[in-house]
Amino acid sequence: MIAENLARLKDRIAKKCEIVGRNPGEIRFIAVSKYFGTDAILEAKKLGVNDFGENRAQELMLKFEKIGDKVIWHFIGTLQKNKVKYAVRTAEYIHSVDSVELLEEINKRASSLNKVQKILLEVKTSFEESKSGLTNEEEIFKIAEQAKNYLNVNLIGLMTIAPLTDDEKLIRKSFRDLRLLKEKMNNAGINITELSMGMTSDFEIAIEEGSTMLRIGSAIFGERDYSKDWRQI
């Protein structure tokens, strides 16, 4: 099933890229494997997928212990300060930095591992209460400037989750706002290149709006069983 899903997905990505005149090679494809076991990850890897996304630090640790750095791990979930050490130990990219405190802790942990941690700032581009992420532009600029002072973090871009809605206009606006913010930051001398946006239900709009990192789960692995305990994965 994973093979067919992947083939179909790659095809849709390629078609959309062709329509908007983008090179699929410039878009990093992250398979979001949360709630799925290492068998599924290894199967996807065999089919050429190298990037995997997880949203819980302990689940990522568990999988990392089994698979190690044969694949590239992305941490995409809400990160608590006391879990930073797990994310830094395992993930090449942390997409969900949303405070100076987190930035500082990541720098500290990365420093003790002699690592430069690639990070993105999570921006809330929707008005949903449940979503996390930064909303204040001044604060976003402040964190980005602060990141320049830390030797063990490398701020490479911005991440967002679009609102959960059927209204395509709202989804597009959310992605466009992220792109415009990136351009504004670039103009202010903040050298970021990545836009992590687009999931199963909205990745085609994200490609149109300039996404460079797609985070796609269910279109590859199928529906998630949320009743499953991650320790059993």
Ligand X SMILES: *Cc1c(COP(=O)(O)O)cnc(C)c1O
CA-based angle 74:188:79, to the nearest 5? 25
Number of residues that bind ligand X (CB under 6 A): 14
Contacts (CB under 6 A) with ligand X, residues 62-91 = 76-77
Nearer to ligand X, 30 or 103 (CB): 30
Residue least distant from ligand X (Cβ): 217
- Segment lying near ligand X (by CB under 6 A), choices 123-131, 146-154, 174-182, 199-207: 199-207
Contact map string, positions 99 to 138, toward ligand X, x by CB under 6 A: ----------------------------------------
3-state secondary structure of 24: helix
Q: Say how far apart CA 80 and CA 147 lie, in whole Å.
A: 18
Nearer to ligand X, 5 or 218 (CB): 218
Q: Which of 13, 32, 134, 153 binds ligand X (CB under 6 A)?
A: 32
Nearer to ligand X, 157 or 217 (CB): 217
Nearer to ligand X, 38 or 78 (CB): 78
Q: 51-54 long-range CB contacts below 8 Å, 24 or more apart?
A: 53/95, 53/215, 53/217, 54/91
To the nearest whole angstrom, how small is the minimum distance from the Cβ of residue 20 to ligand X?
A: 20
Q: 197-206 long-range CB contacts below 8 Å, 24 or more apart?
A: 197/159, 197/160, 197/161, 197/162, 199/32, 199/161, 199/162, 202/162, 202/171, 202/175, 203/12, 203/13, 204/12, 204/16, 205/162, 205/168, 205/171, 205/172, 205/175, 206/162, 206/175
To the nearest whole angstrom, how small is the minimum distance from the Cβ of residue 217 to ligand X?
A: 3
Contacts (CB under 6 A) with ligand X, residues 159-178 = 161
- The answer to whether 41 contacts ligand X (rule: CB under 6 A) is no
Q: What's the token pair of residue 82? A: 């006391």
- Segment lying near ligand X (by CB under 6 A), choices 81-89, 129-137, 165-173, 193-201: 193-201
Q: Say how far apart CA 177 and CA 206 lie, in whole Å.
A: 11
List residues near ligand X by CB under 6 A: 32, 34, 55, 76-77, 161, 199-201, 215-219
